[in-house]
Amino acid sequence: MSDTPNKDSDAEMDKLEDSLHEAIDASDKKQVEEIVDTISSHEALRQVSRMAAPERDSLISMLEPETAAELIEEAPAELAVSLIQDLDSSVAAKIMQELHTDTQADIVQEMEQADSEAILYEMDSVVADGVRTLSQYEPDTAGGLMELEVFSFSVNETVGTVLNRLADGDETFERYRGQHPYIVDESGKLMGVVSLRDMLSNRRAVALAEIMHPAISVLPESSQEELADLFDDNPFLGIPVADAQGMLLGVVSRLELAEAELERAEHESLSRQQVGDELRSMPTLLRSRRRLAWLSSNIVLNIIAASVISAYEETLAAVIAIAVFLPMVSDMSGCSGNQAVGVSMRELSLGLTRPVDLFHVLRKELGVGVINGIALGILIGIVAWVWKDNAYLGLVIGLALATNTMIAVSIGGTVPLMLKKFGIDPAVAAGPLLTTVTDMAGFFLVLSLATLFMPQLLS
């Protein structure tokens, strides 16, 4: 596959797509491989995601294991699993052998145990055991992010040994993604790390033990936030992972952590939109069921909000103009609240905020809420006054928006922390809660204030 986006015209891409389908139908492995090699990995994934499952499985089975593995490494997690799980176990095992160990573990974690074990049984026993070990760790921990391929050397070896290994440039070395050489003793315990600069400035006969430095390592249970802090504070290419006894288990690369951070940010963004990790290559009924789970709960939440309006039907009937401003108040307050949600979610993901900081966050958000609430309230109040030529209507709408903005910002900033404390995913639940509360509060404020100023509004 090409590393750069294909610049061919749409017509040429359509022709290639037709040729690919024809080659798959004809079981022409050579033609399939040639077509896939001529297009970018992004275009190849696009083609694969548009195929029906049987055709997709046929395509992957026809590719060389190295090519298929390259495609799977680039795919989103859900698509990567679907590209592997329905293949013949022997074919899947050959492809899995070519994947990085962290990707292997991610795929195994998402598969049914019987299916994953069938594939692991066909793989090299040492590699399979490593995958089983990795799959035991949570994905957002050092153990879940580490790779088992470690550029390690015995404490008794010399600079020349490492330089010879570097000069060979063998296929195994390419999998180390630029790691520094880690030094271990005879039992596999991490002793230190050697910089490439130190090796180049010393004679080849110098023992690694003489020039190594202490290595900063993390436990496999260390969180993604802890890793991010270490990489921020140090110019490391990778951080070794060792168990409580100091035995070297693997390495988390800076690149792997960056990809994990990006994936988490994307997941949180999608979760706030209540679509989760959905891909259009997933079964239609599954996608429908996932969306309906949230949409149906929103019906209940909206009924609660509507009940507030029902309680003030007489006020609405008397002052029809209020109905125009109800959605404005709730929507504008909701936007302010979502800004606060976004900041809290970002700080939670970066480890800058914890549930214990609830009152600190509330104090900070209240300051912003008061300023923005007053500013927005004055603006919409003037609009309502000029539009309907009623100063009291402007007062009602302005006060309602100002107060609801303060409420929305306070809730938006603190609810993610409270949800996190109780083990609920704030990316999924904060949005619906915020929307319901801001709707109810907004409707109540507008209608109760209108009822209070009813004589002035009707004069």
3-state SS, 17-41, equals HHHHHHHHHCCCHHHHHHHHHHCEH
Q: Per the domain annotation, does 2 fall within a domain? A: no
- Are 303 and 442 contained in the same domain? yes
- Are 370 and 390 contained in the same domain? yes
DSSP string, 145-162: H-BS---EEETT-BHHHH
- Work out how many domains the chain is built from and give that number: 3
φ/ψ (deg, to 5) at 76: -60, 155
Which residues, including other chains, have CB under 8 Å from residue 456's CB and lie 6 or more apart? 392
> pLDDT tens per residue, the chain (459 residues)?
655 444 445 677 778 888 888 999 999 999 999 988 888 877 888 788 778 889 989 999 999 999 999 989 888 777 888 889 889 999 999 999 998 888 888 899 888 888 899 999 999 888 898 889 888 888 889 998 888 888 888 888 988 888 887 776 555 555 565 578 899 998 999 999 988 788 888 888 898 888 999 989 999 999 988 998 898 888 888 899 999 999 999 999 888 888 777 666 655 554 544 444 545 556 667 656 655 665 566 666 666 666 777 677 677 666 677 877 888 888 888 888 888 888 888 777 766 678 888 898 899 899 999 999 999 999 999 998 998 888 988 999 999 999 999 999 999 899 888 888 887 767 666 777 788 788 888 888 988 898 888 888 876
Place of tokens 């090409």: 2
For the chain, what is the largest distance between any 2 Cα atoms, rounded to a whole number of angstroms?
99
- The two beta strands, 248-253 and 182-184, are unpaired
- Are 28 and 134 contained in the same domain? yes
- Are 404 and 317 contained in the same domain? yes
Q: How far apart are alpha carbons 237 and 177 in whole angstroms? A: 9
- Are 330 and 453 contained in the same domain? yes
**Domain containing 399: what range?**
284-458
Please give the angle made by the CA atoms of 436, 439 and 442, to the nearest 5 degrees.
145
- Are 452 and 308 contained in the same domain? yes
Whose CA is closest to 408, among 305, 331, 304? 331
Per the structure block, which two tokens stand in for 413?
A: 């900033």
- Are 395 and 452 contained in the same domain? yes
Q: What's the start-to-end Cα distance of the chain, in Å?
A: 74
- Are 121 and 171 contained in the same domain? no
What is the pLDDT at residue 274? 47
CB hemisphere CA count around 343 (13 angstroms)? 16
Amino acid code (one letter) for 31: Q
Whose CA is closest to 91, among 113, 71, 64? 64
What is the pLDDT at residue 375? 93
Say which CATH number the domain at 378 has. 1.10.357.20
